[in-house]
A and B are shown apart, each in its own frame.
Chain A
Amino acid sequence: MSLSTADVEKVARLARLAMNDQELQAAQAQLNNIFGLIAEMQAVDTKGVEPMSHSQDLAQRLREDRVTEPNQREAFQAVAPQVEQGLYLVPQVIE
């Protein structure tokens, strides 16, 4: 299989990556090369094989429901692109 220009455009949109036509074309060629490599996987018979999401079969650890993190709002907002009165600013989304 290979990705069409429309596929690549859709993926870029889903991934929130702005791309011009030239970048989309380059991405299409490279992604198709990479999916050529990945295609090798499809021939493998994996009937009855349990998917492995993780190398250790771990159950999620539970912890006591208490406050452990101190408030570091100022330290964290010091590295934000735009803040005002303790809030993160983004372009207006509601008219």
Chain B
Amino acid sequence: MIHSSLSQLGAALRAKKISSVELTQTYLDRIAQLNPTLNAFITVNPEMSLAQARAADARLAAGSAAALTGIPIAQKDIFCAKGWLTTCGSKMLHNFVSPYDAHVISQFNNAGAINLGKTNMDEFAMGSSNETSHYGAVKNPWDTARVPGGSSGGTAAAVAARLCAAATGTDTGGSIRQPAALCGISGLKPTYGVCSRYGMIAFASSLDQAGPMGRSAEDLALMMNVMAGFDERDSTSLQREKEDYTRDLNKPLTGLRIGLPKEFFAEGMGSDVAKAVEAALAEYKKLGAVIVDISLPNSKLSVPVYYVLAPAEASSNLSRFDGVRYGYRAPEYSDLADMYEKSRAQGFGAEVKRRIMIGTYVLSHGYYDAYYLQAQKIRRLIAQDFTEAFTQCDVIMGPTSPSTAFKLGEKGDDPVQMYLSDIYTIAVNLAGLPGMSIPCGFGANDMPVGLQIIGNYFDEARMLNVAHQFQQATDWHSRAPKI
């Protein structure tokens, strides 16, 4: 059962071969057994999950079930869920039981899906290894001495280890795609504005986007049908017609033009990663695709641009954590300013403080033009590169991450080295484009390699088609770690 796809689980539930309570309990038992090793979940609440499962069983019995009714889905701990502890991986929110639901959470609730628990993550989604979580690092189920990637590392590890049927993530600079790659699962960051940010704890508001993480492109398409859609409570939510993201899954790929940016295949990519990506491209040629050489000349600037813009937005967003209305307050202080400074100093971890300081500095008097404005201008150049590239190709492909999963602690002392692990994913966020990662083989130490697929704006259905056809021809996505 734990290896079944979402559509198989849905069919089994509707045919009464299994109840949602039984299925939910199966996953809860697996979490109880394996989470002490993996640390993929911060919170499980069997009572609340099983209450939802009983309601789903009633809905199934009444014949009013939707595609995901009764299916246990884990939620990244960045999404506020009513009655659930919602920490965002931070001590700052160690006691925050959310009084309301994020839009994404209500969408899953309305669909009758079960909230199986809240997954571990880098603190406030700032990290690429899950080591910045206040609740301890997540372990990669393929090798527990290695990181799962980040920031949606708990979700990636939980999906890979079959601790849930599928789960949610968020992606500001690669936080869905990079952990998906490092854990050998599939993940999709939609076009900016497609999934509502309401109730999703903000990191960098012009880049943050929620998306599905699962074991196949088909599962991601079913998740997208629930997650996507207009929400007036998010001022950047896009008003568009509702889409069926499964509609193009079975289209043939004959004539598909795949753009390969020469900058992604230059120095920096591990030879093991290159080998797996090239084998995937050969498979695509067999499926009828043609390869087009393209260039994204400004993409090399995406890391420096990102490390100005994202911290600037973060320093503003995280100013709300002041120890007054919610979250952590220092036990001792002399006056109001001292209370702010001590609550924030004690409540935030090192990486979060670092980014708040970068952001505060680049926005401060006298530096705005040199940093923030310059970064916004280069952001446009990066986005224009993609616009130009998509006149020559339908999708862009390359590696998701320059290497496979690294060892816990390996990059701990050097923030810059950690930042460079997102070198292939960040440009996509800056441009606001959809991007995904699917498993395409194994590299050094038998760790999974991810293939990145970048689409044009609102081209998620085509990207899912491109990924699904690959997954019909190969079995990388169905490999599971032995744990």
Contact = CB atoms under 8 A, between A and B. Distances in A.
A61 B234 CA distance: 10
Interface in B305-361: 305, 307-308, 315, 319, 322-329, 333-342, 344-345, 348, 353-354, 356-358, 360-361
A17 interface: yes
Contacts of B304: 37-41
Given A41-B308, A78-B99, A79-B97, A16 B322 contact: yes
A52 B298 CA distance: 15
Contact of A27 (B192, B337, B357, B383): B357
Given A31-B357, A75-B99, A93-B336, A18 B373 contact: no
B329 A14 contact: no
Given A41-B301, A91-B336, A93-B336, A8 B192 contact: no
A interface, over-half SS? loop
B360 A61 contact: no
Interface string A46-87: 100111111110101101000000001001101111100000
Interface residues of A, number: 51
A25 B159 CA distance: 40
A5 interface: no
Interface in A14-46: 14-19, 27, 30-31, 33-42, 44, 46
B324 A56 contact: no
B interface, over-half SS? helix
B329 A76 contact: no
Contacts of A44: 298, 301, 374, 378, 381
A17 B348 contact: yes
Contacts of A39: 304
B95 interface: yes
A8 B361 CA distance: 9
A76 B99 contact: yes
Interface of A: 3, 7-8, 11-12, 14-19, 27, 30-31, 33-42, 44, 46, 49-56, 58, 60-61, 63, 72, 75-76, 78-82, 88, 90-93
Interface of B: 95-97, 99-100, 192-193, 206, 232, 235-236, 238, 298, 301, 303-305, 307-308, 315, 319, 322-329, 333-342, 344-345, 348, 353-354, 356-358, 360-361, 364, 370-371, 373-381, 383, 414-416, 419, 430-433
Given A34-B419, A79-B326, A80-B326, 15 more contacts: A7-B361, A15-B353, A34-B358, A34-B415, A34-B416, A41-B308, A46-B381, A49-B377, A51-B373, A52-B376, A52-B380, A58-B193, A63-B232, A78-B99, A79-B95
Closest CB pairs A-B (n = 3):
A55-B432, A51-B376, A52-B380
